[in-house]
Homo-oligomer: A and B are copies of this chain.
Amino acid sequence: MSATIKSVAEYAGVSIKTVSRVINNEGTVKPDTLAKVQQAIDALDYRPNKAARDLAGRDNYVLGYVYDNPNAYYILAMQNGILKECRANGYELLIHPCDATNPDIIDELVNMVNSARLAGLILSPPLSEMPDVLQAMDDKGIQYVRVLSGDKAPDDKPCVLVDDYQAARQITGHLLDQGHQRIAFIAGEKQHHSTTERQRGFYQALADHGIQADPELVIDGTYSFGTGVQSIQQLLALPEPPTALFACNDEIAAGALFGARMQGVDVPEALAIAGFENSPFSTQTFPPLTTASQPTAQIAQRATSSLIRSLQARKRKAENHTITADIFVPELIVRESTSR
């Protein structure tokens, strides 16, 4: 049988309420009392009973992660990061896969939050980029944190930013540094901010080097292997084909690599290819892909901790809780697919 707050209180020689104050960091406990209680907690290996906490308290210690993203690696990395932070703070996580294209998605989410009595929500793209979803959460007073693509927060609500723009600029810059002049770009779904941000970074890098982008070299597609295969065929058929390609993610890049090989085009000798995401795809090709690595798990962890802090701040009625938008810049990883 595991220790209860009562046994800890007896062991430490204080009331259960004081123990409660310690485990909730309420701050109104004398240092030596606190030390005694901490020691009792450690000695008895006490862990608060979540069910009792939820039942007695006003709030619940459960966060929700809502996702709709076909990319399994991304979701799992997010999930791992969130879980880590939740565990560290005694929160639990409710996982809720959903379909963002479902017209009833908003009702579904509100319903879920209410019936599971969630304390807050972690939203990743594309959900985190849907204004009506965010609006509904605000209306219902549901707390959330978003993971977003961008280089500055779109509003003052909590979010963690991934600076795809900057990273895309770096990747493109890397290709330019290698002497490439005709660089192609294959985009993913335009609904994802990540696509538009990466494209913006691509254009900016060209502009930095005084190069005019050739519209023929920019192709719209989806974040898929198939897009890569098809697009590269189209690009290679051009009278003046590109000597380098920046694909919006590794999956597209892998497809392009495959397509190029099928047509007998050597990579990187005749065509340099860079991807984005540092997914397993990027090392499972020959040659391995140059890419940008976003520390997804770490981003998720930061988002979660930010949500928890704002939850606790609200609990203590600290209205002056300042929301700081964390920002991550994916890091350039150079591999053989772009080496000269």
Given contacts A49-B55, A229-B286, whether A2 and B83 have CB atoms under 8 Å apart is: no
Any B CB within 8 A of the CB of A158: no
Contact of A284 with B251 in the complex, beta carbons under 8 Å: yes
Query: Once bound together, how far apart are the Cα atoms of A285 and B226, in whole Å?
Result: 8
Contact of A79 with B51 in the complex, beta carbons under 8 Å: no
Taking CB atoms, residues of chain B closer than 8 Å to A83 are 95-97
How many A residues, CB 8 Å from partner? 40
Given contacts A115-B47, A286-B258, whether A72 and B76 have CB atoms under 8 Å apart is: yes
Task: Render A250-287 as a binary contact track against B, CB cut-off 8 A, 1 for contact.
Answer: 01001100100110000000000000000010001110
Query: Once bound together, how far apart are the Cα atoms of A49 and B285, in whole Å?
Result: 50
Q: In chain B, what residue has the closest Cβ to A70?
A: B280
- In angstroms, how far is the closest chain B Cβ from the Cβ of A129? 21
Task: Render A32-68 as a binary contact track against B, CB cut-off 8 A, 1 for contact.
Answer: 0000000000000001011111110000100000000
Taking CB atoms, residues of chain B closer than 8 Å to A262 are 261, 286
Taking CB atoms, residues of chain B closer than 8 Å to A224 are 284
Contact of B114 with A2 in the complex, beta carbons under 8 Å: yes
| Interface positions of A (Cβ within 8 A of B) | 2, 47, 49-55, 60, 72-73, 75-76, 79-80, 83, 92-97, 114-115, 117, 224-226, 229, 251, 254-255, 258, 261-262, 280, 284-286
- Write 15 A-B pairs (CB below 8 A) sorted by A numbering: A2-B115, A49-B55, A50-B51, A50-B54, A51-B52, A72-B75, A72-B76, A80-B97, A92-B92, A92-B94, A95-B95, A229-B286, A255-B284, A258-B258, A261-B262
New A-B pairs, 5, CB < 8 Å, besides A80-B97, A83-B95: A51-B54, A72-B76, A83-B96, A229-B286, A258-B261
